[in-house]
Structure 1
Amino acid sequence: MKSAAHRANTGDQPRRRGSRHLGLAVLTLLLVSACTPGGGGAGAPSATPPTSSSGPPASQPATAEPTATAGARLSWGPSTQHYDDAVAAVADMTTEELAGQVMVGFYAGTDPASQEQAIRDLHLAGSIVMGDNVPLTADGAVDPVAMTAVTRGFTEAVAADGRTWPAVVSVDQEGGQVARLGSPLTSWPTPMTYGAAADPALLETSMTAMNSELAGLGFTMNHAPSVDVTTGADDPTIGARAYSDDPELVAELGPAAVTGMLASGILPSVKHFPGHGSVPADSHLELPVQTASLTELEDRDWAPFRAAAEAGVPVMMMGHIAVEALDPGVPSSVSAPNYDALRDLGFEGVVVTDALNMAAVEQLYPGGQAAARALAAGADLLLMPTDAYAAHAGIVAAIQDGTLPSERLAEAATRVVTLMMWQAELADDAETASPGEHGPASEAASAAGITVLTGACEGDLLNGTASIIGGTAADVERFTAAAADRGVIVGAGGTTVALVGPDGAGAAADIAVALDAPWSLDAVDAPVEIAAYSNTPGAFAAVLDVLTGAAAAPGRLPVATAGYDAGTGC
């Protein structure tokens, strides 16, 4: 704890509290079990290219057909009719078609022509859109018309291949720093904001709003939410992307986020099993090693995934982490024991890999070699293999040499087709939104999470002036705009406000505001410290409302950090 002298101030002090006990927000899906979990032993794909571009249809999936009555739902959302239709569709596919149906490709630059061609050549399920793929206007904003044309092109390429279900058109749009699509789309706060608000209903409505704008642009899947349990400042990857360091709170919030996303017609991708918030390395750069025991993992990292499985989420993402207690030295994305562990939590839906071009797996299995290995281990959908053509050839070769059972490939394809048939139904029932439509909702989310760690809980802390220290040019611009709206003059000689970003750089000031994970406040020592969790326009509006005394700060610290207990707040 910080000292009493440090916390001395006039006005009410922030209170601390311990764990929260909220009612579990669950999905409104009927839990009717239909398919047995996927699995299979690990096997190395052959490097031999396929000798034919056609062949007999692959065998039926190894899973049992649904026995529930017509119209019933599988435990992960789609109906038994969706499943039956998918079984029929997969039965008519060649090995080459099946090998593509379980892959989501990627491309470089803003011209999607090569990706559309790859979808047609390889029968890919679809494409992800990364930041460098987003078409921009002359002033650097997302061009909604051009973006919609890109997603439509992928959909048309899938249709041209004879498929009647939608393309997987996915994106990483979590809110906070992980948002591939910027303005004019609504800018949303980090997930940790919702941990501070501890309100599943708020998260659900926010995720419906966020994803309805994606749906309006033609997306069908969003790789969110992250239900990783962060371990604090020693977590280099997740940080404010996590709701909390409390597994119970994360387990309550994850299903609420999924419910909101599904209401918009967008498929979620709950990530990153077996948990990325408790490893000291970034899988984008190297293979993280998880040294915790199985008991520790079950109690901490896996609790939110278990809750998600029980709630009936349709998609979970398998990360690239070597779990010593399961399969030492092997990335979880190509490890059968890791897929078995996820299935043992009760999950029966689609397992998508994290991007297969990430260093954690690409360094061990370069050039598409990981694709067949991941399928053999238990994956259903392969995200971003480094070389889609090589990965496709490797899958076909693995079928031919027996290292990938044809039943396993058909099982994976059946799950993916079932999922996408259901997505079409969800989209038909959902309303889309225009880019930027939800600014007030984003501001309300930030206002619900803003947390005073030390300093007065009420009253005007600026006295009409502010002098900004630190922050990016965009941060300063947004703070200044929010201040002007509230009659606060920004300039030299005012109350000093340090804007502390993710790097933790800061300076002595009257007030310090953390714009990302709150442990960045370790770098400063101010009489007033506030966790805003984000640097969106809505977050700055919420900060200025608190600093001018126009609003309270209702949030509670969702992590133990910066010398404060979890639960600290007014």
Structure 2
Amino acid sequence: MTPEEKAGQVLLPFFKGNQVEAHAALIQRLHLAGSIIMGDNVPRDPRGKVDVAAMGAVNQRLRQAATADGRPWPGIIGVDQEGGAVARLGAPLTEWPVPMSYGAAGSEDLTRQAGKALAAELLPLGFDLDFAPDTDVTIGPKDPTIGARSMSADPAVAAAQGVAFSRGMLDAGILPTVKHFPGHGSVTTDSHLNLPVQPASIDELRVRDWKPFQAAVAAGLPVVMTGHIAVPALEPGVPASLSAPSYAALRNLGFQGVAVTDALNMGAVEKQYPAGAAAVKALAAGADLLLMPEDVEQAHAAILQALAAGSLPAARLDDAARRVATMMMWHARTAAPAGTPGAGAPAGSGAALSAKVSAAAVTVLSGPCHGPLVPGSVRVQGGGPGDRERFEAAAARAGLAVGSGPVVNLIGFGGTPGAGDIAVALDAPWPLQDSNAPIKLALYGRNDTAFDALAAVLAGKATAPGKLPAAVGPYPAGTGCTP
């Protein structure tokens, strides 16, 4: 490969809106690895839902551009599809509850099935890599960024569930990405805005934050994302995504796959390393794939300039490009090509499994474990846009009337406990610690099937088998009804 081709092979850019042809031309001209699809790139039908055929056509065009230089391996078409709040692709694809559901449900088999089902719907649309699952270990209410994206506050559980979900994705033919090394669940600043600092020692990181990554390495998973988190014990003041000691720590866990940065246009990096500097610094430090530089042309030019000046060793660029190419060659041999007719599963095919996950996860912190929790009618308050409507529809399906009776208070992300007879946390369960409601439930989702699970428990048609995957105030991890 030429230096220009190698520099392109390590860059995975984004684009604005529907500028597909311009982006395809850029991918072809700069020999880029492929592209990530963000929410504003997703074609919509007149009802605002994902236009599945159009999405497939966009991805096919971008994949063609990535291989126009004759490379024999496929381009990368990636997306952020974790389930819950982080899902670029909504209906008619299956809507999944938040990933903390898997920790609450406690079944690695169910988690693997869910990973497979989620990924199987991405394959026909032309995706081959998903920036999921999030294997961060959350510390609870002081974690402002990850929260319910974490599967558990228990490192061993987060590790086992993360590996199970990733294996399911690989079963379906999609490359998973475990993230965000060295651990974003235990810092108190949002890296989208500013640079978080991780004060823990290396020994502390090994027994908490690094356990899921060690498990991912042992399982042979192909991609690890590095986060924009400064770890003074490794290199003070420098985001791990741009820090050579941080990449060395990851490699010392035995990782031989592709190390991808978190998005380089995020505040934690862009404020400190503008105009292509972040791409060069991350690559020189040990990154193999540079995600979403603010200006990919600038980043490409900066890599070539650093290479010519000798500040970026040629061997480091060779190593990074080789890792990315090797992964995609391996993927092409072990999975049906993205977009292959008949491969994967149709949009929406995971709905029954999504319902099963929510039903297995719903957790009673306080209140009865058996029988109806409400009479035949309830009132509802709280929630965000659409939450009440979804609850009311689910209540009707469960045979509950809405308009009188005890108050069900829906609490979303960042919501206040409020008044009510029954408090229901829709995302992370932390708000329940301040609720005075006699009955407290954690739902871990706000999709239709999650509300169906809630309504079934309220009506006494189902029990709540979930266990808290993290402590909530006076309620320790593991709180829940016994079978």
| Global fold match (TM > 0.5) | yes
1:213 equivalent among 91, 104, 121: 121
Q: Over the residues paired in the alignment, what is the CA RMSD in angstroms?
A: 1.1
Amino acid at match of 1:126: G
Match of 2:9 in 1: 101
Structure 2 residue 387 is matched with structure 1 residue 475? yes
Structure 2 residue 367 is matched with structure 1 residue 445? no
2:152 equivalent among 239, 244, 255: 244
1:130 equivalent among 18, 38, 44: 38
Q: How does 1:153-552 map to 2 (within 5 A)?
A: 153-428=61-336, 431-491=343-403, 493-552=404-463
CA-CA distance at 1:133 after TM superposition = 1.0
Partner deviation per Cα, 1:388-430 (whole Å, 9 max, x = no partner): 0000001111111111111111111111011111222233289
Amino acid at match of 1:293: S
CA-CA distance at 1:524 after TM superposition = 2.2
Match of 1:568 in 2: 479
TM-score by length of 1: 0.82
Partner deviation per Cα, 1:411-461 (whole Å, 9 max, x = no partner): 111110111112222332894111111111100001111100000001112
CA-CA distance at 1:320 after TM superposition = 0.8
Tell me, in whole angstroms, the C-alpha distance in 1 between the residues paired with 2:67 and 2:232: 44
Tell me, in whole angstroms, the C-alpha distance in 2 between the residues paired with 1:317 and 1:400: 28
Amino acid at match of 1:237: T
Amino acid at match of 1:264: A
2:59 equivalent among 134, 144, 151: 151
CA-CA distance at 1:216 after TM superposition = 1.3
Tell me, in whole angstroms, the C-alpha distance in 1 between the residues paired with 2:455 and 2:157: 28
Whether contact under 8 Å (2:392, 2:402) holds in the other structure is yes
Partner deviation per Cα, 1:320-361 (whole Å, 9 max, x = no partner): 111010100011111100000001111111100100111111
Tell me, in whole angstroms, the C-alpha distance in 2 between the residues paired with 1:307 and 1:367: 36
Whether contact under 8 Å (1:518, 1:562) holds in the other structure is no
Mind listing any 5+ residue stretches in structure 2 that lack a counterpart? none
Tell me, in whole angstroms, the C-alpha distance in 2 between the residues paired with 1:503 and 1:120: 43
Amino acid at match of 2:134: S
Tell me, in whole angstroms, the C-alpha distance in 2 between the residues paired with 1:139 and 1:523: 39
CA-CA distance at 1:162 after TM superposition = 1.3
User: What SS class does the counterpart of residue 328 from structure 1 fall into?
Assistant: strand
Tell me, in whole angstroms, the C-alpha distance in 2 between the residues paired with 1:289 and 1:461: 44
Match of 1:19 in 2: none
Tell me, in whole angstroms, the C-alpha distance in 1 between the residues paired with 2:266 and 2:337: 36
CA-CA distance at 1:198 after TM superposition = 1.2
Tell me, in whole angstroms, the C-alpha distance in 2 between the residues paired with 1:125 and 1:514: 41
Structure 2 residue 26 is matched with structure 1 residue 118? yes
1:555 equivalent among 466, 473, 477: 466
User: What SS class does the counterpart of residue 490 from structure 1 fall into?
Assistant: strand
Q: How does 1:10-49 map to 2 (within 5 A)?
A: none
User: What SS class does the counterpart of residue 371 from structure 2 fall into?
Assistant: coil
**Which gives a bigger RCO, structure 1 or 2 (Cα 8 Å, sep 6+)?**
1
Partner deviation per Cα, 1:211-262 (whole Å, 9 max, x = no partner): 1101111101000111111000000100000011111111111111110000
Tell me, in whole angstroms, the C-alpha distance in 2 between the residues paired with 1:96 and 1:112: 22
Tell me, in whole angstroms, the C-alpha distance in 1 between the residues paired with 2:110 and 2:180: 23
Percent identity at matched positions?
56
Whether contact under 8 Å (1:504, 1:521) holds in the other structure is no
Tell me, in whole angstroms, the C-alpha distance in 1 between the residues paired with 2:119 and 2:434: 35
Whether contact under 8 Å (1:504, 1:522) holds in the other structure is no
CA-CA distance at 1:523 after TM superposition = 4.0
Tell me, in whole angstroms, the C-alpha distance in 2 between the residues paired with 1:458 and 1:422: 50
Tell me, in whole angstroms, the C-alpha distance in 1 between the residues paired with 2:26 and 2:432: 47
Whether contact under 8 Å (1:262, 1:268) holds in the other structure is yes
Amino acid at match of 2:348: G
Whether contact under 8 Å (2:399, 2:459) holds in the other structure is no
User: What SS class does the counterpart of residue 445 from structure 1 fall into?
Assistant: helix
Mind listing any 5+ residue stretches in structure 1 that lack a counterpart? 1-92
Partner deviation per Cα, 1:152-190 (whole Å, 9 max, x = no partner): 111111122212211110011001100011111100011
Amino acid at match of 1:436: G
Q: Between 535-544 and 423-432, report the one with greater CA deviation.
A: 423-432
Partner deviation per Cα, 1:350-386 (whole Å, 9 max, x = no partner): 1001001111111111122111111111011110011
Tell me, in whole angstroms, the C-alpha distance in 2 between the residues paired with 1:475 and 1:340: 45
Tell me, in whole angstroms, the C-alpha distance in 2 between the residues paired with 1:143 and 1:111: 16
Tell me, in whole angstroms, the C-alpha distance in 1 between the residues paired with 2:41 and 2:398: 38
Moved >6 Å (runs of 4+): none
Whether contact under 8 Å (1:197, 1:448) holds in the other structure is yes
Amino acid at match of 2:154: D
CA-CA distance at 1:494 after TM superposition = 2.2
User: Which protein has the larger Cα radius of gyration, Structure 1 or Structure 2?
Assistant: 1
Partner deviation per Cα, 1:76-107 (whole Å, 9 max, x = no partner): xxxxxxxxxxxxxxxxx100000000110101
Whether contact under 8 Å (1:255, 1:311) holds in the other structure is yes
Tell me, in whole angstroms, the C-alpha distance in 1 between the residues paired with 2:382 and 2:473: 19
Aligned residues: 477
Tell me, in whole angstroms, the C-alpha distance in 1 between the residues paired with 2:172 and 2:294: 31
Tell me, in whole angstroms, the C-alpha distance in 1 between the residues paired with 2:262 and 2:425: 29
Amino acid at match of 1:547: L
